[in-house]
A and B are shown apart, each in its own frame.
Chain A
Amino acid sequence: MLDNTSKVETPEGIELPLEVAGVVPRALAYIIDLLIFVILNYTIALTMGLLGNFGEGLYLILFFILFWLYPVIFEVFRNGQTPGKKALGIKVVHQDGTPISLNASFVRNILLSADFLPFFYTTGFISMMLHKDFKRLGDMAAGTLVIYTEKENKEDPIPKVKPKAPTFALSLEEQRSVLSLAERHQQLSKARQDELSNLLPEKLFPANTDNHNRLKQLHAFANWLRGN
């Protein structure tokens, strides 16, 4: 099964899937960061220009700091997210899923200049498109991944029906699907929902459940599974 995740196995043998982010969101995030950088740089240049030669020197120092440390500072102190990454909902972590350290962030951002070659990130693009986990050279050297931040798992409302224990044994995945059918009751068309619930064989439902009431039965199971 092809999926867009990178799997990390913990010492306890639990597999954690990390949803890896690819070229498109990363490029968009970079463009946002680049715009912010340009605006900051321009503001500094304007201000320092007023101060003559001294300002020019100071500007060069500030430019150096801004250029090399802008992503590092944000990544290390703001949960692996530069403003651009935050806007796109992605963040940098170590490839084992732990928060990024100063070392790793430094390495991957220094090597941004290697990905830049020979012209405006050609190497980086090719590397990201060909690598299984969409890594550019900097990510490979630093051992980092760019992943999607998990959204807060808020419960979708399900139709309130009197809870009822399922009349047949359900595996974890099947339980999830029954619950998910109820959660998506507003997104899916009524016909499709009936169709889905009619996929299940008759004997799984209490006797004399007609086709239309099956969905209701499943909603009752969902309410029971959620513990309402």
Chain B
Amino acid sequence: MDLSKISIKLRPRNGYAAIDLGTRMAQRNLKLMLISFIIVSLPLYLVLLFIFPERPLLITFFIWWLKPLWERPLLLILSRDVFHQATHLKEVLKFSLTNNYKQWFQSITWRRFSPTRSFDAPVVQLENLSGKVRRERLSALHSRSPTAISGITFVLHLVEALMTFGVMLFILQFIPNDIEWILFLEQVFTNTGLDLFYLILSLCWYLAMVIVAPFYVAGGFSSYLNQRSIREAWDLELVFRQLANKHTKKKFDYKNLVAALLVCIFTFSVPQGISSEQPANNETTKVDAYAKEKANSRQAIQQIQSGPEYKRVEQTWEFRKINPDKPKEEDPEKKNKSNSNFDKGLAKTLSWIFLILLVIFLLYKLPAIIEYFDSGAKAKNKNLKDINKPEQLFGLDLKQENLPDDIVQEAQALWQAKQQREALGLLYQASLSKLIHDFDCEFEDGFTELECQTIVSRMQLPLKDYFAELTSIWRLLAYGHQLPTSEIFLQISSQWPEHFEPKNDPNAEDDSSIKNTQQAASQMETDNE
């Protein structure tokens, strides 16, 4: 086994992800695997169908029961593909005729219904383990994610069953009831004692079996690889080996390599090598050497098999009775009878109480439930709202805290200081800021003045006419460089508070603002003169 030739990405995966990788492995070899499964199982199916034509379902059931044997060639294909080795159909055939009988009896009897069947298969077929060693090896490999391993058996059996009926309904849908040939066929079938329905069902079952088998085998094999890769850190080995190659270049440290490879190599290749290798020569020395080597390697194998890769140490704890129990001297039947009426009443009452409590609980928890579903959306909305409140529009700072307290006074002061542009700018800026923060206008970054105005008038705010006027004056000044007259500015600035400022005490406010404007007006007139 040479990890540098491996064709799957090595990394520790969770149990389900390993199965998914298996699905991709099956997809890559799907055609070959389907054909192989059909080649090895179809002959028997057809022969049995020919011999016992009146029992089609039973025949498929028989084929189904022997499925572990049909799956072995598929595992062969996959185990080669993992190391970029292509398999030919010829080899599959040869394998299924000669090498397919390892522990066949166990695999179709008590191991047939093991929920981890496809996961366990490689241990027998590729690692050649049996008996106690196999059991301990399996329990060591099962220690992680056992739910996922049986999950694949459960789900794919379900898929197989559902698909059987799915394919059958699909076929039946396409057979019109009134076509004559079907009547003719039916007649043939009834005359020969065959039932068309059961025959179709049998075929569909077989078809579903063919479709599902590659994915089942691949899922189990991939989980098996994943477990080994995690336990033996294959991913690290690959990287370290590449690193070593990079540094040593041509010089190779065979000693280390041999030592490191021992555990890995042996599992896939050594036992097979032993079983297939035969002494070609009859010379006694060679035979002796061979026997010696065999003994040595057997010893090595035993040594390795006593190692932690083949054992599983588990700490468990359980409750134990400290005092042996004292048996109660009562006739259980008698007790049951006397209690049964009482029990019924109690159960009824309890269930009513439970129901009422449940309703109360749900009502009580209703806000929390709504919150549960709402929280995600709310958080999103909240963020959106905050984000969408722009801090700047066309270069004007719109943060509330950066504005002066008394905007009108400030603006008029600026105007008198001949900074007309700044004065009107401040007024407009303050208006936008108020619109965003107090009136909740949804301005977005990059809006123009007219777009803001459109939004304000669309919202039907009472100040929309005022804002329109302010906007047009501002635009004339900002882009057209046309100063409004002092009267217009005064008028518009004195109107500003009544539109934008909250009216706590309208009379007092109005008075003071009127006074202010009058004063300012008279002052300005004198200035102009």
- CB within 8 Å of B: which residues of A? 1-4, 19-25, 27-28, 73, 77-79, 88-89, 118-123, 125-126, 129-130, 132, 134, 148, 168, 170, 173-174, 177, 180-181, 184, 187-189, 191-192, 195-204
Contact = CB atoms under 8 A, between A and B. Distances in A.
B47 to A, nearest CB: 29
A81 to B, nearest CB: 11
A118 B166 CA distance: 6
Given A27-B158, A199-B260, A2 B24 contact: yes
Contacts of A188: 231-233
20 contacts: A2-B9, A2-B21, A77-B377, A120-B162, A126-B163, A130-B30, A170-B243, A174-B243, A181-B233, A188-B233, A189-B309, A191-B308, A192-B232, A192-B233, A192-B308, A196-B233, A196-B236, A197-B240, A198-B259, A200-B244
A73 B244 contact: no
Contact of A28 (B155, B173, B263, B374): B155
Contact of A122 (B13, B156, B170, B219): B170
A19 B12 CA distance: 13
Contacts of B158: 27
Contacts of B156: 23-24
Interface residues of B, number: 62
A181 B236 contact: yes
Given A1-B7, A28-B155, A125-B162, A22 B260 contact: no
A187 B17 contact: no
B239 A4 contact: no
A24 B24 contact: no
A177 B500 CA distance: 66
Contact of B263 (A1, A2, A88, A192): A192
Contacts of A3: 8-9, 21, 24
B376 A78 contact: yes
Given A129-B27, A191-B307, 12 more contacts: A1-B9, A23-B156, A27-B155, A88-B16, A119-B170, A130-B30, A184-B236, A188-B233, A189-B308, A192-B263, A196-B237, A199-B241
Contact of A73 (B151, B236, B307, B373): B373
B237 A4 contact: no
A3 B159 CA distance: 24
B99 interface: no
A122 B19 contact: no
B23 interface: yes
A24 B165 contact: no
B243 A200 contact: yes
A134 B307 CA distance: 39
B401 to A, nearest CB: 35
Contacts of B407: none
A204 B247 contact: yes
A34 B158 CA distance: 15
A187 B256 CA distance: 23
A153 to B, nearest CB: 14
B241 A201 contact: no
A177 B14 CA distance: 18
Interface string B230-259: 111101110111011001100001001001
B25 interface: yes
Contacts of A202: 253
B19 A22 contact: yes
A195 B260 contact: yes
A146 to B, nearest CB: 10
A24 B240 contact: no
A77 B373 contact: yes
Contact of A21 (B20, B24, B27, B167): B20
Given A3-B9, A21-B20, A23-B159, A148 B244 contact: no
Given A2-B9, A2-B24, A79 B236 contact: no
B169 interface: yes
A154 to B, nearest CB: 15
A143 B9 CA distance: 26
Given A21-B16, A181-B236, A187-B230, A118 B173 contact: yes
Given A119-B162, A121-B162, A24 B16 contact: yes
Contacts of B24: 2-4, 132
B393 interface: no
A118 B169 contact: yes
B7 A2 contact: yes
Identify the 3 closest CB pairs spanning chains A and B, nearest first: A122-B166, A22-B20, A3-B9
B256 A199 contact: yes
B150 to A, nearest CB: 10
B211 interface: yes
B376 A129 contact: no
Contacts of B17: 4, 19, 21, 148
Contacts of A201: 244, 247-248, 253
A23 B215 contact: yes
B199 interface: no
Nearest to A25: B16
A63 to B, nearest CB: 19
A94 to B, nearest CB: 16
Contacts of A125: 159, 162-163
Contacts of B235: 177, 180
Nearest to A122: B166
Interface string B207-242: 000010001000100000000001111011101110
Contacts of A191: 307-308
Contacts of B240: 177, 196-197, 199-200
B28 interface: yes
Nearest to B153: A24
B19 A24 contact: yes
Interface in B110-166: 148, 151-152, 155-156, 158-159, 162-163, 165-166
B400 to A, nearest CB: 33
A174 to B, nearest CB: 5
A120 B163 CA distance: 8
A201 B21 CA distance: 33
B376 A79 contact: yes
B84 to A, nearest CB: 11
Contacts of B307: 189, 191
Interface in B78-109: none
Contacts of B230: 187
Contacts of A19: 17
A206 to B, nearest CB: 15
A173 B241 CA distance: 13
A56 B260 CA distance: 72
